[in-house]
Structure 1
Amino acid sequence: MPALDMPLAKLKEYRGSSPKPDDFDAYWAEALRELDATDPKAKATPSAFQAPNAECFDLTFTGVRGARIYAKYLRPKGVSGPHPAVLFFHGYSGHSGDWWDKLAYVNLGFSVFALDCRGQGGKSEDVGGVKGNTLRGHFIRGLDSGPNDLLMRHIFLDTAQLARVAMAMPEVDAARVGVHGGSQGGALALVCAALEPRVRRCSSVFPFLSDYRRVWEMDLAKDAYEELRTYFRMFDPLHEREDDIFRTLGYIDVQYLAERIEAEVLMGISLMDNICPPSTQFAAYNRISSPKRHVIYPDFGHEGLPGFNDETYLFLSKL
């Protein structure tokens, strides 16, 4: 079998090398209290795009620190009574995409919600307000202001707020909600399921934002992880703060949030991935204690995985 990383047998046992802060659970308990105190003030406005089988809306809601967050919202026409829903999360620097590819789930009788991450390629608001580097990269944004100001903390909480907004819709059955995404979206799908325990099914493809120190040790702090190398070069060229930096990143390390997941999980894992290395994907997968299954692609990197969208469709259809 091709190998970019560890042998597969070791990958299936690997549980990460990046440090977990001692107060990790207290940190996220406090973050969720901040979310609890944030009135979402959700507003759905009919979109310029409409489809024969769906009602389409521009949805906005308030996230932590007062940012107005945008999501596409589609619901099936002519469906009475509560029905299932799926939340989609996009890749790093991207946005929620076009409307058309959500319609397959509308045809299945789902409402669909697709988030625009704050400060990235879509319509959500980034309220800023941190010290230090804001030139390039989001997971290092706020490192110099302290863990409570990490931008990824706020984006993680936005996923839970969107789930709460979706579950509060009268047409949505809150007991039948799933999540899906790839890369950053794969991380956010895991995060959403971790922070909103009512999520029932989670499909995640080669999740980003997992096991930062492992990425560094593999000399793969490039592409999506390039901001880590840039941060060291600009703000800690002698690595005198290296341990503190990786400890702070531990608060937004997906592998540790994955331990909280109660949903059933399906994960697509690519063994030749040099963007989100296989060991970092397994670090998250191996910490999930709820029912789970992975599909391994030995010869594929950070790219489309043949058949996995079909797997996800069938997996989520069981909601």
Structure 2
Amino acid sequence: MYVDMPASELPAYRSSQVDPDDFDEFWAATLETSRAAASAVRIEPVESGLTTIDVFDVTFSGWNGQPVKAWLRMPKGATGPLPAIVQFVGYGGGRGHRLEDLFYASSGFAHFQMDTRGQGSGWSLGDTPDPDGTGPQTPGVMTRGIDSRETYYYRRLFTDAVRAVETVRELDSVDASRISVFGISQGGGIALAVAGLVPGLAAVAPCVPFLCDFPRATVITDGYPYKEIGDYLSIHRDRVEPVAGVLAYFDGVNFAKRASAPALFSTSLMDSTCPPSTVHAAYNVYGGERSMSLWQFNGHEGGGIVDVERALEFFRGIVGNA
């Protein structure tokens, strides 16, 4: 059933989320510190048994120089700089198995799939720890380190994601001017954060994005993972306003305002995990050219493979073929 406002009202909706005065300074300092701590990238070929795709095990420097894993998948024998897609993963998942997610490499792109620190094992494999997890939290990562913006989990994860794009830009096999970012659910929220923090992206495709419009999302749905924040605040009753202040630095609405790359969003009217108004909260203030796939009879699965297919067509329309 429909879980949110009707489709006719979504284009006019605006979030109540605040825009912290020092938002840009906070993120500039965060990223610069991690860049300064970076070490050399390690790229090792992996035996996959595939005849059309080469797979590489990548270790790059993310938050505070900490090692983060990724898969790099390339069309076998590709020469010359390729357009690239950097993909971020949904909640609870990691970079997965080396033989998963072959779609974009099979389509001629360099495909860089970032692992998700401290996640994995919920529904796909993960190989990157989160050594800085701290403080009381509910199960999951939504309240990990939520006592301050400095310690909040998504500060580390969003920094990893920015560093992933910066790592891909340095690869000889990639055309640095043709890098796009893609993700579904949490991955879509991470893609939005990257779009607001990294200039010069070719395109962005956040599908049914999570991590948008915390003021509304945390009260309009009982669905997890947003409900983790509600669970935490039901115990820490005196932390409502401080937590809201922290989350403002990590909200897709505030990143969307700062983004400029062309974007293809998707949302579903029956999505109780990431309600459509929360997605439109970011979409309606997005700073670049944008379009929306609105699925009337779907939940959090969104358009499924059709979202992926449309993202490929969208990317090719901007960066061309390999």
Q: Residue 123 of structure 2 corresponds to which residue in structure 1?
A: none
Q: Residue 129 of structure 2 corresponds to which residue in structure 1?
A: 125
Does the 8 Å CA contact 1:210/1:255 hold for their aligned counterparts?
Answer: yes
Distance 2:63 2:308 in 1: 32
Residue 129 of structure 1 deviates from its aligned partner by 4.8
Of 293, 296, 308, 2:294 maps to: 296
| AA partner of residue 244 (structure 1) | P
Unpaired runs of 5+ residues, structure 1, are none
| AA partner of residue 219 (structure 2) | E
Unpaired runs of 5+ residues, structure 2, are 121-125
Is 1:155 the equivalent of 2:153? no
Q: Please show how residues 55-94 of structure 1 align to structure 2 within 5 Å.
A: 55-94=54-93
Using a 3 Å threshold, how does the CA distance of structure 1 residues 70 and 197 change in structure 2: closer, same or farther?
same
Does the 8 Å CA contact 1:221/1:228 hold for their aligned counterparts?
Answer: no
Does the 8 Å CA contact 2:17/2:253 hold for their aligned counterparts?
Answer: no
Using a 3 Å threshold, how does the CA distance of structure 1 residues 304 and 183 change in structure 2: closer, same or farther?
same
Deviating more after overlay: 175-184 vs 20-29: 20-29
Distance 1:66 1:125 in 2: 13
Deviations 1:79-105 (A, max 9, x none): 221111111111101122344454332
Distance 1:99 1:66 in 2: 24
Does the 8 Å CA contact 2:149/2:246 hold for their aligned counterparts?
Answer: yes
Q: Residue 232 of structure 1 corresponds to which residue in structure 2?
A: 233
Does the 8 Å CA contact 1:88/1:185 hold for their aligned counterparts?
Answer: yes
Q: Please show how residues 29-178 of structure 1 align to structure 2 within 5 Å.
A: 29-121=28-120, 122-133=126-137, 135-144=138-147, 146-178=148-180
| AA partner of residue 36 (structure 1) | R
- Relative to the length of structure 1, the TM-score reads 0.92
Distance 1:269 1:18 in 2: 20
Percent of paired sites with the same residue? 34
Deviating more after overlay: 208-217 vs 39-48: 39-48
SS at match of 1:157: helix
Q: Please show how residues 203-282 of structure 1 align to structure 2 within 5 Å.
A: 203-218=205-220, 220-236=221-237, 240-282=238-280
| AA partner of residue 140 (structure 1) | T
| AA partner of residue 154 (structure 1) | R
What is the RMSD computed on CA atoms of the aligned residues?
A: 1.7
Distance 1:301 1:107 in 2: 28
Does the 8 Å CA contact 2:295/2:302 hold for their aligned counterparts?
Answer: no
SS at match of 1:137: coil
Residue 304 of structure 1 deviates from its aligned partner by 4.5
Q: Residue 179 of structure 1 corresponds to which residue in structure 2?
A: 181
SS at match of 2:225: helix
Residue 153 of structure 1 deviates from its aligned partner by 0.8
Deviating more after overlay: 18-27 vs 192-201: 18-27
Distance 2:180 2:314 in 1: 10
Deviations 1:166-197 (A, max 9, x none): 11001100000111111001111111222221
Distance 1:12 1:45 in 2: 46
Distance 1:235 1:85 in 2: 43
| AA partner of residue 129 (structure 2) | E
SS at match of 1:72: strand
Residue 281 of structure 1 deviates from its aligned partner by 0.3
Deviations 1:276-314 (A, max 9, x none): 111100011111121111111111111141522211111
Query: How many pairs align?
Result: 312
Deviating more after overlay: 107-116 vs 40-49: 40-49
Residue 45 of structure 1 deviates from its aligned partner by 1.3
| AA partner of residue 128 (structure 1) | D
Residue 225 of structure 1 deviates from its aligned partner by 1.4
